[in-house]
Amino acid sequence: MSNWGEHSDRLLFIKQEWDKAEEAIKLAEQVCGEVVTPSVKELRYAGRRLVDAIGKIGAGAPPSEIDGLLHDAYFDCHRARHDAIDAATAKIAKVLDIAATKIGYEVILKAYPSFSLLFGQLNLVRSRIAVSRGDRENRERVYASIEAVDFPALAKEYDNFKAAEPIMKGLAKTERKRRVLNYVIGIAGLLATIFSLLK
Amino acid sequence: MAVLVRAFQNVLAWLTLADYDSAKERATVDIVARLARRNVSFQNGSILNGAALRKLSEEGDAAMAHLRKLASHN
């Protein structure tokens, strides 16, 4: 038989981890709303485990069964938290890569001169995530520091990048049109030369 | 002919920078699919963006209002 008292410590840990996961999701949402969907799903799975555990406590199920469900709920919250940061960081890395490939550094730097600062902040967060993966004992501490300091700074700088994006896109469009015009003029010139030689 | 149409579409996408936006959307889908451990729909790239979510929510509200109306008539 189980009662609420004997699970109160674990329930408190789940509450704390759930709060942290929600904070991480809110931070990651600032980068891109859609990338947090797997994290939200993880929280949903945690909620399911909690509901099952509450049902079993009410039904007086053995403590080991309830402990298993609560452990899973805690782990799901933990995963939601890490996934939110990982997804947002991956999204920023991808966007910067796409911008560099499709728009080009010259145009980016004209509209957003702090590009290297943003890139440096991104690399810092990514390297800390990599460190946390190899250091299981300190993973919690490393992630807490990423969430509290490094990631908010990165998200803020990424906001500046997003604010400059319409200017970048405008410049890139002009540049592409200019390039097409140059090709057309070049081809027309070539054809005119060929025709004049054939006359 | 289809190749020419595709080539024209690609040039148009390049000129309007639509290729940049679609690459970013693809990146989001890839990230979600990579992190979706237990959800097959996500793994297949089916995710709702903000606009689609809002539309689904509005349709749900309308359906609920319609159901309530039907229930009150019976």
Domain membership of residue A45 as a residue range: 5-198
Domains contained in chain A, number: 1
Distance from CA of B57 to the nearest CA of A (A): 16
What's this model's pTM, rounded to 2 decimal places? 0.79
Strand, coil or helix: A4: coil
Helices (H) and strands (E) in chain A, counts: 7, 0
Are residues A28 and A88 in contact, defined by beta-carbon separation less than 8 angstroms? yes
Residue A121 near residue A153 (C-beta atoms within 8 A): yes
Q: Is there a contact between A37 and B32 (Cβ–Cβ < 8 Å)?
A: yes
Q: What is the DSSP string of B3-65?
A: HHHHHHHHHHHHHHTHHHHHHHHHHHHHHHHHH-SS-HHHHTT----HHHHHHHHHHHHHHHH
**Cβ contact, residue pair A87, B35, below 8 Å:** yes
pLDDT tens digits for chain A (199 residues)? 567 778 888 899 999 999 999 999 998 988 887 888 889 999 999 999 999 999 998 888 888 899 999 999 999 999 999 999 999 999 999 999 999 999 999 999 999 999 999 999 999 999 998 888 888 788 888 888 888 889 999 999 999 999 999 999 999 999 999 998 999 999 999 999 999 998 7
Give the nearest partner residue to A34 out of B23, B39, B47, using CB atoms: B47
To test the contact with chain A by mutation, choose from B12, B29, B31, B39 the residue with the greatest count of A C-beta atoms within 10 A, namely B31
Instruction: Determine phi and psi for A190, rounding to 5 degrees.
Output: -65, -45
pLDDT, tens digit (0-9, with 9 covering 90-100), for B2-24? 888 988 888 888 888 999 999 99
Contacts of A87 in chain B (CB under 8 A): 31-32, 35
Q: Is A173 on the interface with B (CB under 8 A)?
A: yes
